[in-house]
Structure 1
Amino acid sequence: MEGLIVDGPRRVATHDDLAGVARAALGAGHRLTGVSRLRGGSKKGVYRLIFDDDSTAIVYIWDDAEDYWSAARIDEDDAEDHANPFSHASGIDLFVAAHTRLETLGIRTPRIHSADRSRSHYPADIAVVEDVPGATLEALLQQDPDGAQVPLSRLADALGAMQRHQGPGFGKVALIDDGGISQGHSCERIVLDRALDDLAEAASRDTRIESGRDRLEDMVRGLAAAVRPRSEYGLIHGELGPDHVLVDRYGHPVLIDIEGLMFFDVEWEHAFLRLRFGEHYRWLRRSGLDEQRLAFYTLATHLSLVAGPLRLLDGDFPDRDAMMGIAEHNLQQALAFLPGPAGPPRAILGR
Structure 2
Amino acid sequence: MTETRQPRTVADLTPLARAALGRHRTLSAVTRLRGGSKKGVYRLRLDDGGSAIAYLWTPDEDYWSHSGAAPAADPRDPFSHASGLGLFTAAHDRLAAAGVRTPRLLHVDPEARAAVVEDLTGGSLEEALRRDPDAAAPALDALAESLRALRGCRSAAHGKVAVTAAGGSAYGDSCARLVADRALSDIAETAVRDPRVAAAQERLEDAVRSLAAEARPRAEHVLVHGELGPDHVLLDADGRPALIDIEGLMYFDAEWEHAFLRMRFGPHYAALRADGLDEDRLRLYRLALHLNLVAGPLRLLQGDFPFAESMREIAEHNLAQALDLVKL
Shift of 1:39: 0.7
Q: Distance in 2 between matches of 1:187 and 1:225?
A: 12
Amino acid at match of 2:201: R
Aligned match of 1:249: 237
Secondary structure, counterpart of 2:155 in structure 1: coil
Q: Distance in 2 between matches of 1:44 and 1:137?
A: 21
Q: Distance in 2 between matches of 1:247 and 1:75?
A: 30
Aligned match of 1:306: 294
Amino acid at match of 2:306: P
Secondary structure, counterpart of 1:12 in structure 2: coil
1:61 paired to 2:49? no
Shift of 1:12: 1.7
CA gap 1:136/1:74 in 2 versus in 1, 3 angstroms: closer
Count of residues in correspondence between the two structures: 327
Task: Describe how 1:40-59 pairs up with structure 2 within 5 A.
Answer: 40-59=35-54
Q: Distance in 1 between matches of 2:167 and 2:269?
A: 35
Task: Describe how 1:105-120 pairs up with structure 2 within 5 A.
Answer: 105-119=98-112
Task: Describe how 1:7-46 pairs up with structure 2 within 5 A.
Answer: 8-46=3-41
CA RMSD of aligned residues (A): 1.3
Q: Distance in 2 between matches of 1:329 and 1:143?
A: 23
Relative to the length of structure 2, the TM-score reads: 0.97
Aligned match of 1:187: 175
From the two aligned structures, give the one with the greater helix fraction: 2
- Quick check: 1:72–1:312 contact (8 Å CA) kept in 2? yes
CA gap 1:62/1:11 in 2 versus in 1, 3 angstroms: farther
Relative to the length of structure 1, the TM-score reads: 0.91
1:73 paired to 2:65? no
Task: Describe how 1:148-297 pairs up with structure 2 within 5 A.
Answer: 148-297=136-285
Q: Distance in 1 between matches of 2:202 and 2:5?
A: 39
Gaps of 5+ in 1: 1-6, 120-124, 341-351
- Quick check: 1:33–1:51 contact (8 Å CA) kept in 2? yes
Q: Distance in 2 between matches of 1:17 and 1:249?
A: 29
Q: Deviations over 1:301-349 (max 9, x none)?
A: 1100010011111111111111111111110111112243xxxxxxxxx
Q: Deviations over 1:127-165 (max 9, x none)?
A: 011001111011111111111100000000100110121
Gaps of 5+ in 2: none
Secondary structure, counterpart of 1:39 in structure 2: coil
Aligned match of 1:82: 75
Q: Deviations over 1:85-108 (max 9, x none)?
A: 100000000000000000111111
Shift of 1:179: 1.6
Task: Describe how 1:135-146 pairs up with structure 2 within 5 A.
Answer: 135-146=123-134
Secondary structure, counterpart of 2:45 in structure 1: strand
Secondary structure, counterpart of 2:172 in structure 1: coil
- Quick check: 1:195–1:220 contact (8 Å CA) kept in 2? yes
Q: Distance in 2 between matches of 1:10 and 1:96?
A: 27
- Quick check: 1:202–1:209 contact (8 Å CA) kept in 2? yes
Shift of 1:25: 0.8
CA gap 1:32/1:74 in 2 versus in 1, 3 angstroms: closer
Shift of 1:296: 0.6
Shift of 1:110: 0.5
Runs of 4+ aligned residues of structure 1 deviating over 3 Å after TM superposition are: 72-76
Aligned match of 1:94: 87
Aligned match of 1:334: 322
Aligned match of 1:323: 311
Q: Distance in 2 between matches of 1:189 and 1:173?
A: 19
Amino acid at match of 2:140: L
Q: Distance in 2 between matches of 1:28 and 1:112?
A: 18
Shift of 1:38: 0.7
Q: Deviations over 1:66-121 (max 9, x none)?
A: 01101333577x12x111010000000000000000011111101111011123xx
Indicate the larger mover: 95-104 or 178-187.
Answer: 178-187
Amino acid at match of 1:186: S
Amino acid at match of 1:247: L
Q: Deviations over 1:215-273 (max 9, x none)?
A: 11111100111112212100000100100000112121010000000000010011111
- Quick check: 1:111–1:130 contact (8 Å CA) kept in 2? yes
